[in-house]
Amino acid sequence: MQLLKKVFILFITIATSFVYGASSDDGVEYIKLDNGYRVWTKRVGHGPIQILTLHGGPGCTHEYFECFENFFPKDKYQIIFYDQLGSYYSDQPDDPSLWSVERFRDEVEQVRKALDLENFYLYGQSWGGMLAIEYSLKYQHHLKGVIISNMTAGIQAYLTYIRQLRAQLPQSIQDQLTAFEEKEDFSNPAYEKLILEELYSRHLCRLKPWPEPLLRTFAHNNVKIYQTMQGRHEFEVTGTFKDWERWDDLSRIAVPTLLISGRYDTMNPQDIEKMGTLIPNSRVTICENGSHLSLYDDQDTYFQALLAFFADVESCKQTKNKK
């Protein structure tokens, strides 16, 4: 789930005046929350099918979702990008009390109200998938459907699997990681380089080089939020969502649900399949060539699954309306 800010420097330096692939300011709207802070949103497209996106992190940005614009016709879809509070385009208060799952969940509801969304789709990836589960459990009466991307239903399942992936690394690499961790030297560039080259290149994004919008997201990552909510590094969870478990509640999600993940993900594909047996009106897609960012490294499979899901839900809706 972590997106390390310094990883950007390992790949490319982008001048501040050059933002390749970024969208224009058309459709941007700042929403004032009940705590007085503002969050950034942007509508792309003018179609009747509305999709609100929840990015990963915690503390990342919407920027790595820019590829969505290549797959959703603007006359059929309306994609709403949204930077959560603390993220790069939104206000960034230095207040650790704000970084809780419950507050972020209710922030999504405030955004929904401000944007006048009803009977819409909620899409969440990684940490955003956790938020999508939380929102669905409390506010699903506003949803037409939900997409939970690259996220399992509990922290313990995540930890079990990420540690299995670590155990598959060469012993010499494991020993080097352990040496840094025992000294709590997590910001050491050599430690970050090991995480990047030995874990992220296999299980976060398998493309070489990484797409520019993804690099921009890494550069803009708010590490403080990540550390407050998850912890100091990828293999432990000590922050505010350390006790998050929703396996026993999944059966309460009644809206149409797409669960999508990658075969090489940091989330166990078997966990994603299990979630599909627990959510009544759900389907599962495992992108066989994809990782945690299968929206990039198995793009055709990923977006075909999303488009098919939307088409099927819309078709069912139209059939019901005719009865």
How high is the pLDDT of residue 15? 33
The domain of 102 spans 22-163+207-322
pLDDT in tens, 94-119: 999 999 999 999 999 999 999 999 99
**Contact between residue 231 and residue 242 where contact means Cβ atoms under 8 Å apart:** yes
Tell me the C-alpha to C-alpha distance, in Å, between residue 193 and each of 11, 99, 103, 176, 187: 11, 27, 33, 11, 10
At residue 26, the pLDDT reads: 87
**Integer Cα distance of 251 and 253 in angstroms:** 6
13 occurs within a structural domain: no
Residue 14 domain-assigned (yes or no): no
Do the domain assignments include residue 187?
A: no
Average model confidence (pLDDT) across the chain: 91
Q: Which residues are the active-site residues?
A: 126, 265, 292
Q: What is the pLDDT of residues 212-267, one digit of tens each?
A: 999 999 999 999 999 999 998 889 999 999 999 999 999 999 999 999 999 999 99
Residue 240 lies in a domain: yes
pLDDT tens by residue, 264-311:
999 999 999 999 999 999 999 999 999 999 999 999 999 999 999 999
Average pLDDT over residues 31-38: 98
219 within domain boundaries: yes
Tokens of 44: 């792309």
Residues 28, 41: contact at Cβ < 8 Å?
yes
Is 197 contained in some domain? no
| pLDDT tens track for 170-200 | 999 999 999 999 999 998 999 999 999 999 9
Token code pair at residue 311: 């088409």
- CATH number of the domain at 111, please: 3.40.50.1820
pLDDT at 63 > cutoff 90: yes
Q: Say how many domains are in the chain.
A: 1
Residue 176 lies in a domain: no
15 is a domain residue: no
What pLDDT, on a 0 to 100 scale, did the predictor assign at position 309?
Answer: 98
